[in-house]
Structures are given as C-alpha cells and as structure tokens.
A and B are shown apart, each in its own frame.
Chain A
Amino acid sequence: MWTFIHKMGSPPWFFRFSGVVVQWLLPITIGLLLVGAAWGLLVAPPDFRQGNSYRIIYIHVPAAVVALAGYYVMAFAGAVSLIWRIKMADVTMRAAAPVGAVLTAVALITGAIWGKPTWGTWWVWDARITSMLILLFLYLGVVALFEAYENKTAAARACAVLSLVGTVNIPIIYKSVDWWYSLHQPASIKFTGESAIDSSMLYPLLLMIAAFYCLFALTVLLNMRAELVWNHREANWLQQLVRKV
C-alpha cells in the first residue's frame, strides 16, 4: 500500500500507470454517459407536475454533485502538497480546478434554464444558488492565483491554502436548503430512508452521477498527463517514451 502511494509520487511511474487507467476509463465513461442519458431522456417517465422539463436533472444533479466532491479532491491534494511537499499533489490540485469550475458552471447554467419555466425566474439570490456561485469563484480563484505567481512553488502553496479555506463552503452548499428558507428544493436523493424521487427516475440519475464521477476522474487524469509532459519535456524518461511510440 505504502509503496503504491510512494510510486504515485514519481512522474514516470504515474505517467505509465495513468495511461493504463485512461485506456480503461475512457470507454467506461462514454458507455455510462450514453446509457445514462438514453435511459434518462428516452426511457424514464415524465414528471407528474413538470412534464419533460425535469429531465435536465440528469445533467444538473450529477454536475453539482461531482463539483462538490471534486472540491474535496482539490483541497485534499492541496493539504498533501502543503504537508508532504509532493510535486504530484500540486499537479493534481491544478488539474482538478478547471474541471471543477466547468462542472459548477454547468450546474448553475442548467439550474437557470430549469428555473425559468419552473420557478418563473432565471436567478434568485437564495442560499443554495449563492453558495454555488461562491464555489465557482473559488475554483476560478485557484486557477487565477496559480497564474498570478512567477514562482510556481509559491503559487502551489497559495492555491493549497485558498482551496483549504474554501472547504467550509462545501457543507454550506450541501445543507443550505435545510438550514435556511431557500427557493431551491431540498435534496430528492436521501442516504437514509426512501428517496423523494421515484425509482424509475432515480436509477438513471444514479447512473449519470457515476458517469460524471468517471468523467471527472478521466479529465483530471488527462489534465495531469498534459501537465507532466510539459513539466518534464526535457526529461530522459519522457523522451525515451516518445521515441518508442
């Protein structure tokens, strides 16, 4: 176990390992996305009040769930980078930030598109939506902060602190609909007890959430590989690898 974690910190080893993972993850992700989308959009029944417009849930909820989980990935990588000074943790943190930002933006935009016909407004400053907007700014802040520094070690440290401080926002987003009166409805999927969403609609939703987790892992890995190639463009191991191909 420990040797595995140690090996993950070595760029040549990680590059080879992630190559194998990507090879498997890519078809799995595409398969899950296709099956989940077809099931959710074509097979699942319409909602008794919203009709077909509820189907945006199959993009909105997975994007939002993975945007929250992805933040913990980024913050955890930041903590590892601060404590153990592992370069690979910096690379992970940097790779997760833009992916998380895009997922958060997708959740906000699909929410607005759904909100217009359902609520009667694109946007309302309620606790859930505002805290989600803060999450977008935190992700973008990490991206921007890294670019603002000339010294990349200092940049990684500043980004790690920012992402760690931002973790407080995640439980706030998650619980905002329960703690305060908000326009956004409470969670339909419940970990304990019966979900408030019918199982015929829930199963494709769970499949799409799994698909988005895979998509997140896949894009972060590809991002990391691209960064490794750039960082080690003059390294021996990479040039040998390129010559082999």
Chain B
Amino acid sequence: MHPVRKQRLIVVSLVVVLSSAAVGLVAFALRDNINLFYPPADVVAGKAPVNRSIRLGGMVVEGSIERSSTELDTTFWVTDYEASVAVRYSGILPDLFAEGEGVVAEGKLNSQGVLVATQVLAKHDENYMPPEVAAALEGKTAPGEAATP
C-alpha cells in the first residue's frame, strides 16, 4: 500500500476507535441513567429515590391484581423474582397488561413503599407464536381443534 494511503488508513482507524471509546466511556458513566426503569429488587433495597418520579419494571405477580368495583383504581404487585413492590394505579391499562406479563409503571414511591403510578405500560417480550402453539405449550387443546382420545 502507498505510504500516504497507509497513513490515512491509520488516521481513519484511530478516529473510529477513539470516538467509539469516548462514547463507550460516556455510556458507561451514565449507565444508571440509560436504564429505563428500576427492578423491584433495587427499589426494595432503597436504591430508588422516594418522592421523585421513577419507573419500576418487572412482571405482574400472578393473582395480585385487585380492581375496585366502582372506580378505575387497580393495585398489583410487580416482581423480578427477587423482591416485589406494590403498585397503585388509577386509569385505563394497556391491552397487553395481564398477570404474569411484563410491565413498566411510572410514578412516585410513597412512605409505605407503594408506587403510586401515573402511567402503566405493558412490556412485551420477544416471543411470537400462533395461538395454537401457545395453547400446545400450555398443554391445552387449541380452540376449534378436536381433542385426540
């Protein structure tokens, strides 16, 4: 390779490597701020600020959803299988909100450690499958399909 071009190649590589390193260091320093939400374990351990708006993310505990019969109020527990945090929310929940599914709730922690949410988002997982496959995985028969004797 021509020496001038070789030198340019080195400069170009240095530009890419150094700028990547710089951005990498910034991202590493800000890693806590890049996270969209706190897992329940961090909230229970007291790592999340009280009385400031935070987001909590995890799975809705099975059987923990309690709906008020007269209002839109809902309470449920969010877990990361290490710790659980109670969430209180008044409003319309997204379609995919369900027990055992992912959720991200935004709101303030009160003194009892309950997250009073102003917004609840459903967190979809990466699994995509047809209803029949999902039913088969759960050991049930798909709708419209005769049970084999």
> At the interface, yes or no: B95 with Cβ under 8 Å from chain A?
yes
User: Which of B23-31, B46-54, B64-72, B107-115 interfaces with chain A?
Assistant: B23-31
Docked-complex contact B122 and A120, CB < 8 angstroms: yes
Indicate whether B126 reaches chain A with its CB closer than 8 angstroms.
yes
* B residues near A117, Cβ cutoff 8 Å: 94-95
- Interface contact B133-A185, CB-CB below 8 Å: no
Residue of A nearest to B32 (CB): A180
With known contacts A118-B95, A181-B35, A168–B24 Cβ distance under 8 A: yes
Asked if A153 CB lies within 8 Å of chain B CBs, one says no
Q: Looking across the interface, which residue of chain A has its beta carbon closest to that of B15?
A: A164
Decide yes or no: A183 and B36 within 8 Å by CB, A119-B124, A120-B120 being known contacts: yes
Q: List residues 90-138 of chain B with CB under 8 A from any CB of chain A.
A: 93-97, 104, 119-135
Looking at chain B's contact residues, the main secondary structure is mixed
Task: Tell me the A141-177 residues at the B interface (CB within 8 Å).
Answer: 161, 164-165, 167-169, 172
CA distance A179 to B34 in the complex (A): 10
Chain B: interface residue count, which band? 35 or more
Task: Judge if B9 is at the interface, Cβ distance under 8 Å.
Answer: yes
With a cutoff of 8 Å between Cβ atoms, the chain A residues found around residue B123 in the complex are: 119, 183, 185
Q: Which of A32-78 touch B at CB < 8 Å?
A: 45-50, 54, 57
Name, among A167, A185, A186, the residue most crowded by chain B CB atoms within 10 Å (CB to CB).
A185
List B residues 34-49 near A (Cβ within 8 Å).
34-39
Given the complex of chains A and B, what is the CA–CA distance between A86 and B97 in angstroms?
Answer: 55
Structural contact, B31 and A196, CB atoms closer than 8 A: no
Chain A residues near B57: list those with CB within 8 A: 181, 183
Give the shortest distance, in Å, between B4 (CB) and chain A (any CB).
9
Closest to B123 in A: A183
Q: A138 → chain B, closest Cβ, in Å?
A: 12
Is the Cβ of A188 less than 8 Å from the Cβ of B36? no
Q: How far is the CB of A112 from chain B (nearest CB, A)?
A: 13
Q: Is the CB of A172 within 8 A of B23?
A: yes
Q: Tell me if A239 is interfacial: C-beta within 8 Å of chain B.
A: no
Interface 1/0 per residue, B9-28 and A, CB below 8 Å: 10010011001100110010
| Chain A residues within an 8 Å CB radius of B119 | 120-121
**A119–B127 CA distance with the chains assembled, in angstroms:** 15
Chain B proximity of A61: nearest CB distance (Å):
11
B96/A49 in contact, CB under 8 A: yes
Residues of B within 8 A of A186 (CB): 126
Among candidates B5, B20, B37, B128, residue contacting A54 with C-beta atoms closer than 8 Å: B128
Please name all residues of chain A whose beta carbon is closer than 8 Å to the beta carbon of B23 when the two chains form the complex.
168-169, 172
Task: Report if A200 contacts B (CB, 8 A).
Answer: yes
Task: Give the shortest distance, in Å, between A225 (CB) and chain B (any CB).
Answer: 27
* A185 / chain B contacts, CB cutoff of 8 Å: 123-126
Docked pose: A163 CA to B37 CA in angstroms: 31
Besides the known contacts A167-B20, A188-B127, A197-B128, 4 further A-B residue pairs in the complex with CB atoms under 8 A apart: A48-B130, A82-B12, A164-B19, A183-B123
| Contact surface of B with A, Cβ cutoff 8 Å | 5, 8-9, 12, 15-16, 19-20, 23-24, 27, 31, 34-39, 57, 93-97, 104, 119-135
> What 10 pairs across the A-B complex have the smallest Cβ distances?
A120-B94, A45-B130, A48-B134, A168-B20, A197-B128, A198-B129, A126-B36, A181-B35, A196-B126, A188-B126
26 interchain pairs, CB-CB under 8 A:
A47-B129, A47-B130, A48-B134, A48-B135, A83-B9, A119-B124, A120-B122, A121-B121, A124-B36, A126-B36, A127-B34, A165-B16, A168-B16, A169-B23, A180-B34, A180-B36, A181-B35, A181-B37, A183-B121, A185-B126, A188-B126, A196-B128, A197-B129, A198-B130, A198-B133, A201-B129
